[in-house]
Amino acid sequence: MFKGSFVALVTPFTDGKINDDQFQSFVDWQVNEGTHGLVPCGTTGESPTMSHAEHKHVTELCIEAASGRVPVLAGAGSNSTSEAVDLAQHAQSTGADALLVVSPYYNKPTQAGLFAHYEAINAVAEIPIIVYNIPGRSVVNIELDTMKRIAGLSNVVGVKDATADLALPGLVRREIGPDFCQLSGEDASAIPFLVAGGHGCISVSANIAPALCAQQHNAWNAGDVAEAQAIQDKLVYLHRSMFCESSPGPVKYAAQLLGFCTDEMRLPMVEISDSSKAQVEAAMRELNLID
Protein backbone atom coordinates (compact mmCIF):
# COMPACT_ATOMS: atom_id res chain seq x y z
CA MET A 1 0.00 0.00 0.00
CA PHE A 2 1.29 3.42 -0.96
CA LYS A 3 0.43 5.89 1.80
CA GLY A 4 1.54 9.20 3.25
CA SER A 5 2.90 12.30 1.57
CA PHE A 6 4.02 11.89 -2.03
CA VAL A 7 5.43 14.96 -3.75
CA ALA A 8 4.43 15.91 -7.30
CA LEU A 9 7.91 17.12 -8.22
CA VAL A 10 8.66 20.33 -10.06
CA THR A 11 11.17 20.14 -12.93
CA PRO A 12 13.93 22.80 -12.83
CA PHE A 13 14.76 24.46 -16.14
CA THR A 14 17.74 26.64 -17.03
CA ASP A 15 17.58 28.47 -20.35
CA GLY A 16 14.92 26.07 -21.54
CA LYS A 17 16.80 22.91 -20.64
CA ILE A 18 16.27 20.51 -17.75
CA ASN A 19 18.75 21.21 -14.96
CA ASP A 20 19.82 17.71 -13.93
CA ASP A 21 21.87 18.74 -10.91
CA GLN A 22 19.16 20.96 -9.45
CA PHE A 23 16.54 18.27 -9.93
CA GLN A 24 18.56 15.54 -8.25
CA SER A 25 19.57 17.83 -5.38
CA PHE A 26 15.90 18.65 -4.90
CA VAL A 27 14.96 14.97 -4.86
CA ASP A 28 17.64 14.29 -2.27
CA TRP A 29 16.35 17.12 -0.07
CA GLN A 30 12.82 15.79 -0.35
CA VAL A 31 13.87 12.35 0.87
CA ASN A 32 15.95 13.82 3.70
CA GLU A 33 12.98 15.95 4.78
CA GLY A 34 10.84 12.86 5.23
CA THR A 35 8.74 12.75 2.05
CA HIS A 36 7.24 9.28 1.70
CA GLY A 37 7.33 9.04 -2.09
CA LEU A 38 8.28 10.84 -5.30
CA VAL A 39 6.18 11.54 -8.39
CA PRO A 40 8.18 12.85 -11.37
CA CYS A 41 6.71 13.90 -14.71
CA GLY A 42 3.24 14.93 -13.65
CA THR A 43 1.41 18.18 -14.33
CA THR A 44 3.45 19.93 -11.64
CA GLY A 45 6.58 18.69 -13.39
CA GLU A 46 5.40 20.24 -16.68
CA SER A 47 5.26 16.92 -18.48
CA PRO A 48 2.93 18.31 -21.20
CA THR A 49 5.80 20.48 -22.49
CA MET A 50 8.53 17.84 -22.25
CA SER A 51 9.56 15.69 -25.18
CA HIS A 52 9.37 11.94 -24.69
CA ALA A 53 13.15 11.81 -24.39
CA GLU A 54 13.07 14.50 -21.69
CA HIS A 55 10.23 12.75 -19.87
CA LYS A 56 12.20 9.52 -19.78
CA HIS A 57 15.36 11.36 -18.72
CA VAL A 58 13.63 13.01 -15.74
CA THR A 59 12.22 9.65 -14.66
CA GLU A 60 15.72 8.17 -14.78
CA LEU A 61 17.16 11.09 -12.81
CA CYS A 62 14.52 10.68 -10.11
CA ILE A 63 15.03 6.93 -9.75
CA GLU A 64 18.79 7.42 -9.57
CA ALA A 65 18.57 10.17 -6.94
CA ALA A 66 15.99 8.30 -4.86
CA SER A 67 18.32 5.29 -4.80
CA GLY A 68 15.62 3.03 -3.40
CA ARG A 69 15.06 5.13 -0.28
CA VAL A 70 11.41 5.90 -1.07
CA PRO A 71 9.03 4.72 -3.81
CA VAL A 72 9.00 6.44 -7.18
CA LEU A 73 5.58 6.67 -8.84
CA ALA A 74 6.58 7.62 -12.36
CA GLY A 75 4.21 9.72 -14.41
CA ALA A 76 3.41 7.73 -17.54
CA GLY A 77 0.29 9.36 -18.88
CA SER A 78 -0.66 10.59 -22.32
CA ASN A 79 -3.80 11.24 -24.34
CA SER A 80 -2.34 8.74 -26.81
CA THR A 81 -2.55 5.19 -25.49
CA SER A 82 0.47 4.05 -27.50
CA GLU A 83 2.56 6.87 -26.03
CA ALA A 84 1.41 6.00 -22.50
CA VAL A 85 2.35 2.37 -23.13
CA ASP A 86 5.83 3.44 -24.26
CA LEU A 87 6.34 5.66 -21.19
CA ALA A 88 5.08 2.90 -18.90
CA GLN A 89 7.46 0.35 -20.40
CA HIS A 90 10.38 2.75 -20.02
CA ALA A 91 9.56 3.63 -16.40
CA GLN A 92 9.35 0.04 -15.29
CA SER A 93 12.52 -0.90 -17.19
CA THR A 94 14.46 1.80 -15.34
CA GLY A 95 13.30 0.82 -11.86
CA ALA A 96 10.16 2.80 -11.06
CA ASP A 97 8.11 1.31 -8.22
CA ALA A 98 4.76 2.16 -9.78
CA LEU A 99 3.14 4.08 -12.62
CA LEU A 100 0.88 7.12 -12.30
CA VAL A 101 -1.32 7.18 -15.38
CA VAL A 102 -3.56 10.18 -15.95
CA SER A 103 -6.85 9.75 -17.76
CA PRO A 104 -6.58 10.86 -21.41
CA TYR A 105 -7.11 14.58 -21.86
CA TYR A 106 -8.60 16.54 -24.79
CA ASN A 107 -9.74 13.40 -26.67
CA LYS A 108 -12.78 13.12 -24.38
CA PRO A 109 -13.06 9.32 -24.48
CA THR A 110 -16.16 7.45 -23.42
CA GLN A 111 -16.16 5.28 -20.29
CA ALA A 112 -15.49 2.30 -22.57
CA GLY A 113 -12.55 4.16 -24.07
CA LEU A 114 -11.15 4.94 -20.62
CA PHE A 115 -11.28 1.28 -19.67
CA ALA A 116 -9.62 0.25 -22.95
CA HIS A 117 -6.84 2.79 -22.34
CA TYR A 118 -5.96 1.37 -18.93
CA GLU A 119 -6.42 -2.18 -20.16
CA ALA A 120 -3.77 -1.61 -22.84
CA ILE A 121 -1.29 -0.18 -20.32
CA ASN A 122 -2.01 -2.96 -17.87
CA ALA A 123 -1.20 -5.51 -20.58
CA VAL A 124 2.44 -4.36 -20.68
CA ALA A 125 2.85 -3.42 -17.04
CA GLU A 126 4.80 -5.50 -14.55
CA ILE A 127 4.60 -2.97 -11.71
CA PRO A 128 1.60 -1.38 -9.91
CA ILE A 129 -0.52 1.21 -11.69
CA ILE A 130 -2.15 4.19 -9.98
CA VAL A 131 -5.02 5.64 -12.02
CA TYR A 132 -5.13 9.46 -12.04
CA ASN A 133 -8.66 10.84 -12.20
CA ILE A 134 -8.63 14.61 -12.74
CA PRO A 135 -11.72 15.71 -14.66
CA GLY A 136 -10.83 19.38 -14.18
CA ARG A 137 -7.92 18.96 -16.59
CA SER A 138 -8.91 15.93 -18.65
CA VAL A 139 -12.60 16.92 -19.10
CA VAL A 140 -13.88 13.35 -18.56
CA ASN A 141 -14.53 11.80 -15.16
CA ILE A 142 -13.82 8.12 -14.52
CA GLU A 143 -17.20 7.03 -13.21
CA LEU A 144 -17.37 4.69 -10.21
CA ASP A 145 -18.52 1.69 -12.25
CA THR A 146 -15.65 2.24 -14.69
CA MET A 147 -13.16 2.64 -11.84
CA LYS A 148 -14.40 -0.67 -10.45
CA ARG A 149 -13.76 -2.34 -13.83
CA ILE A 150 -10.31 -0.77 -14.09
CA ALA A 151 -9.52 -1.86 -10.53
CA GLY A 152 -10.13 -5.42 -11.65
CA LEU A 153 -7.11 -5.25 -13.97
CA SER A 154 -4.19 -7.25 -12.63
CA ASN A 155 -1.76 -4.40 -11.96
CA VAL A 156 -4.10 -1.55 -11.01
CA VAL A 157 -3.75 -0.96 -7.27
CA GLY A 158 -5.16 2.50 -6.64
CA VAL A 159 -6.22 5.96 -7.69
CA LYS A 160 -5.02 9.52 -7.40
CA ASP A 161 -8.31 11.33 -6.88
CA ALA A 162 -8.40 14.98 -7.92
CA THR A 163 -12.17 15.22 -8.23
CA ALA A 164 -12.57 17.18 -4.95
CA ASP A 165 -15.60 14.94 -4.28
CA LEU A 166 -15.21 13.87 -0.66
CA ALA A 167 -18.08 11.42 -0.92
CA LEU A 168 -16.09 9.42 -3.46
CA PRO A 169 -13.43 7.77 -1.24
CA GLY A 170 -16.11 6.09 0.84
CA LEU A 171 -17.92 4.86 -2.25
CA VAL A 172 -14.68 3.55 -3.74
CA ARG A 173 -13.83 1.85 -0.46
CA ARG A 174 -17.26 0.20 -0.37
CA GLU A 175 -17.35 -0.85 -4.03
CA ILE A 176 -13.69 -1.78 -4.61
CA GLY A 177 -12.42 -2.52 -1.11
CA PRO A 178 -10.15 -1.09 1.61
CA ASP A 179 -6.98 -2.41 -0.05
CA PHE A 180 -7.48 -0.22 -3.13
CA CYS A 181 -5.03 2.63 -2.54
CA GLN A 182 -6.63 6.08 -2.58
CA LEU A 183 -4.32 9.10 -2.80
CA SER A 184 -5.76 12.60 -2.81
CA GLY A 185 -4.72 15.05 -5.49
CA GLU A 186 -6.05 17.99 -3.48
CA ASP A 187 -3.78 19.37 -0.73
CA ALA A 188 -6.46 21.51 0.88
CA SER A 189 -8.72 18.54 1.63
CA ALA A 190 -6.03 16.01 2.60
CA ILE A 191 -7.40 15.38 6.09
CA PRO A 192 -11.08 15.07 5.07
CA PHE A 193 -9.94 12.70 2.32
CA LEU A 194 -8.17 10.49 4.89
CA VAL A 195 -11.25 10.56 7.10
CA ALA A 196 -13.37 9.44 4.15
CA GLY A 197 -11.17 6.40 3.53
CA GLY A 198 -8.06 7.68 1.77
CA HIS A 199 -4.46 6.62 2.37
CA GLY A 200 -2.36 9.65 1.44
CA CYS A 201 -1.83 12.64 -0.82
CA ILE A 202 0.15 13.40 -3.97
CA SER A 203 1.01 16.93 -3.02
CA VAL A 204 2.05 20.18 -4.68
CA SER A 205 2.71 21.89 -1.34
CA ALA A 206 5.15 19.13 -0.37
CA ASN A 207 7.58 20.68 -2.84
CA ILE A 208 7.85 23.61 -0.44
CA ALA A 209 7.05 22.15 2.99
CA PRO A 210 7.94 18.46 2.71
CA ALA A 211 8.65 17.95 6.41
CA LEU A 212 5.30 19.38 7.54
CA CYS A 213 3.37 17.43 4.91
CA ALA A 214 5.11 14.21 5.93
CA GLN A 215 4.62 14.91 9.64
CA GLN A 216 0.91 15.41 9.05
CA HIS A 217 0.57 11.94 7.55
CA ASN A 218 2.85 10.41 10.16
CA ALA A 219 0.57 11.80 12.86
CA TRP A 220 -2.53 10.51 11.10
CA ASN A 221 -1.07 7.02 10.65
CA ALA A 222 -0.06 6.99 14.33
CA GLY A 223 -3.66 7.75 15.29
CA ASP A 224 -2.91 11.32 16.42
CA VAL A 225 -5.80 13.00 14.63
CA ALA A 226 -5.49 16.24 16.61
CA GLU A 227 -1.86 16.69 15.58
CA ALA A 228 -2.64 15.90 11.94
CA GLN A 229 -5.40 18.51 11.97
CA ALA A 230 -3.15 21.05 13.70
CA ILE A 231 -0.58 20.68 10.93
CA GLN A 232 -3.32 20.99 8.30
CA ASP A 233 -4.37 24.24 9.96
CA LYS A 234 -0.80 25.53 9.64
CA LEU A 235 -0.62 24.56 5.97
CA VAL A 236 -3.98 25.87 4.81
CA TYR A 237 -2.72 29.21 3.46
CA LEU A 238 0.25 27.58 1.77
CA HIS A 239 -2.12 25.17 0.03
CA ARG A 240 -4.27 28.06 -1.12
CA SER A 241 -1.29 30.06 -2.36
CA MET A 242 0.01 27.16 -4.44
CA PHE A 243 -3.12 27.46 -6.58
CA CYS A 244 -3.56 31.24 -6.68
CA GLU A 245 -2.69 30.83 -10.38
CA SER A 246 -2.44 27.78 -12.60
CA SER A 247 0.02 25.25 -11.23
CA PRO A 248 2.99 25.02 -11.40
CA GLY A 249 3.43 28.80 -11.57
CA PRO A 250 3.12 29.48 -7.82
CA VAL A 251 5.09 26.42 -6.68
CA LYS A 252 7.89 27.17 -9.14
CA TYR A 253 8.15 30.69 -7.69
CA ALA A 254 8.17 29.26 -4.16
CA ALA A 255 10.94 26.81 -5.10
CA GLN A 256 12.93 29.77 -6.39
CA LEU A 257 12.51 31.55 -3.05
CA LEU A 258 13.91 28.45 -1.35
CA GLY A 259 16.90 28.50 -3.71
CA PHE A 260 16.31 25.16 -5.42
CA CYS A 261 15.71 26.46 -8.95
CA THR A 262 14.45 29.47 -10.85
CA ASP A 263 10.79 30.03 -11.59
CA GLU A 264 11.43 29.38 -15.27
CA MET A 265 8.64 27.50 -17.02
CA ARG A 266 7.90 26.57 -20.59
CA LEU A 267 5.21 28.32 -22.57
CA PRO A 268 2.28 28.54 -22.39
CA MET A 269 3.01 28.79 -18.65
CA VAL A 270 4.29 32.24 -17.71
CA GLU A 271 5.64 34.03 -14.63
CA ILE A 272 2.98 34.64 -11.99
CA SER A 273 1.77 38.16 -11.19
CA ASP A 274 3.22 40.37 -8.48
CA SER A 275 0.06 39.99 -6.39
CA SER A 276 0.34 36.21 -6.61
CA LYS A 277 4.01 36.40 -5.66
CA ALA A 278 3.06 38.40 -2.58
CA GLN A 279 0.49 35.75 -1.63
CA VAL A 280 3.05 32.95 -1.99
CA GLU A 281 5.64 34.89 0.03
CA ALA A 282 3.17 35.65 2.82
CA ALA A 283 2.17 31.99 3.13
CA MET A 284 5.81 30.89 3.24
CA ARG A 285 6.72 33.50 5.87
CA GLU A 286 3.85 32.36 8.05
CA LEU A 287 5.49 28.91 8.15
CA ASN A 288 8.98 30.39 8.60
CA LEU A 289 10.07 28.84 5.32
CA ILE A 290 11.62 32.15 4.29
CA ASP A 291 12.65 35.26 6.26
Cα 246 to the chain's mean position, in Å? 15
Q: How far apart are CA 18 and CA 50, in angstroms?
A: 9
Pairing relationship of beta strands 13-14 and 156-161 according to DSSP bridges: unpaired
DSSP state of 125: -
Amino acid at the residue 134: I
200-203: strand order across its sheet? 37-39, 4-8, 200-203, 181-184, 156-161, 129-133, 98-102, 73-75
Give Cβ neighbours of residue 29 (< 8 Å, ≥ 6 apart). Answer: 210, 260
Q: How far apart are CA 102 and CA 160, in angstroms?
A: 9
Q: Phi and psi at residue 151, in whole multiples of 5°?
A: -65, -20
Which residues of 175-216 form beta strands (DSSP E)? 181-184, 200-203
Helical (H) or strand (E) element with 12: none
Pairing relationship of beta strands 181-184 and 156-161 according to DSSP bridges: parallel
Rg (the chain; Cα; Å): 18
Which residues are the active-site residues?
A: 132, 160
